[in-house]
Amino acid sequence: MIMEKTRKFLIFIITLVVVAGIIVAAYFLSGWLFTTINIDGQSMYPTIHDGDVTILYKQGDYERGDIVVFNTHKQDSQGNERYFVKRIIAMGGDTVKIDLVPGSDILSPEYGIYVNGEYLEETYLSGNFVHASATDKPRTEFIVPEGCFYYCGDNRLNSSDSRTDGSIGSVVLGNVSDILGRVVAKYPGAEGVTKIELVKRGS
């Protein structure tokens, strides 16, 4: 009888230790793999809305089309570090040029982005594309340095990005080392995770 109680007590203790270990491991693993960021602004509309909560995957490589959050090393009005959520258009070693969209009427020109000499079909811009491209102007082709990336917001009429800022010539780039993570899911902050949506790469 005593041995049976001792065995049950040992099983209880072992179970408790295993469960506690799983909880602790899950906590640290989730912090290592994922984090959440609240979005303030419309620069990625309509893909991501102002007030959305994004879930970022913090590991792995990045590629063209990924939506990422990164540190700009600039400060906001409260003196806090400013983070951007933008889409990667080109990576280190890629050539980028803004020029006329194929078939564009020269009397009413529309401009788009060319990466490595190929026109970038940005289907994710939806109906916003025509109005956004009309605001762009031709830019001389340049090569993105290794370790950097060229980025744009999907809301081209309301986005501070590599087309509009100035650092390298008329272009400012992000550093891959400053990326916090890739957006893999989102949900409206006011409605909660019941409205969660996955964000596929390149969409």
**Residue 152 contacts residue 162 (beta carbons within 8 Å):** yes
Q: What is the pLDDT of residues 51-109, one digit of tens each?
A: 999 999 998 899 999 999 999 888 777 878 889 999 999 999 999 988 888 887 777 77
Q: What is the pLDDT of residues 1-20, one digit of tens each?
A: 566 666 665 665 665 555 44
Q: Tell me, yes or no, if 43 is annotated catalytic.
A: yes
Q: What is the pLDDT of residues 186-199, one digit of tens each?
A: 999 877 778 889 99
Identify whether 109 is preceded by a cis peptide bond (ω within 30 of 0): no
CA distances from 38 to 53, 67, 86, 188 (A): 4, 14, 14, 10
Q: What is the DSSP string of 60-113?
A: S---TT-EEEEEEEEE-TTSPEEEEEEEEEEETT-EEEEEEPTT--TTS--EEE
Q: Which of 8, 43, 133, 160 is catalytic?
A: 43
Give the pLDDT of residue 118. Answer: 94
In this prediction, residues 152-181 reach a mean pLDDT of 81
Q: What is the pLDDT of residues 104-138, one digit of tens each?
A: 777 777 788 899 999 998 888 866 555 555 556 66
Say if pTM beats, i.e. exceeds, 0.85.
no
Q: Which of 77, 86, 104, 133 is catalytic?
A: 86
